[in-house]
Amino acid sequence: MENIETPIPESPDNCPDFTKYWNKFCKDVVERDNFKDGHLEQLAILCTLYVDYYIIVKQLQTDGMTFESDGGRNGPQTKLHPLVAEKKNILAEIRQYSKLLGLVLKEDKQVKAEPVDNWD
């Protein structure tokens, strides 16, 4: 029986960053034992999350992680940029979608040598 390679579907978005992640993960998703077309929709969401994440990272590099408020009843204050919380939320969603699609790193399944008990 020949090993036929599954074709990778074309990226549904023409954004170069989206396409980079699509091409990186698509083969693993398509070659799943339980692959369904719905997995590609989930992959599209994952790729969008990666693009959004790096947009936020670049913005935080420009703006900084904190900002100074004008004040109010407590006077001027240093506060976290709202994108810091958004970055955290997107990372959680990336982990969730990666796990859903089976793209998380798995533990090394090699059998480790049992420790030798030399107490005798």
Domain presence at residue 116: no
Give yes or no for a contact between 49 and 94, defined as CB atoms under 8 angstroms apart.
yes
Q: What's the DSSP call for residue 1?
A: -
Domain presence at residue 77: yes
β-partners of residue 78 are: 68
Give the pLDDT score at 115.
54
Q: Which of these, 16, 38, 19, lies nearest to 29 by C-alpha position?
A: 38
Q: Cβ-count burial of 53 within 10 angstroms (0-12 exposed, 13-18 middle, 19+ buried)?
A: middle
Give yes or no for a contact between 51 and 15, defined as CB atoms under 8 angstroms apart.
yes
Domain presence at residue 107: no
Tokens 């599209």 sit at which residue?
44
- For 9-38, what is the mean pLDDT? 92
- For 52-75, what is the mean pLDDT? 91
* Domain extent for 69: 16-100
Domain presence at residue 49: yes
User: What total of structural domains would you count in the chain?
Assistant: 1
Percent pLDDT > 90 in the chain is: 59
Domain presence at residue 78: yes
Give the pLDDT score at 72.
75
Cα-Cα-Cα-Cα torsion 54, 59, 62, 66, nearest 10 degrees, comes to -110
Query: Does 75 have pLDDT greater than 90?
Result: no
Could you give the CA distance from residue 37 to residue 32 in angstroms, rounded to a whole number? 11
pLDDT tens profile 11-24: 999 999 999 999 99
Domain presence at residue 114: no
Domain presence at residue 10: no
Domain presence at residue 2: no
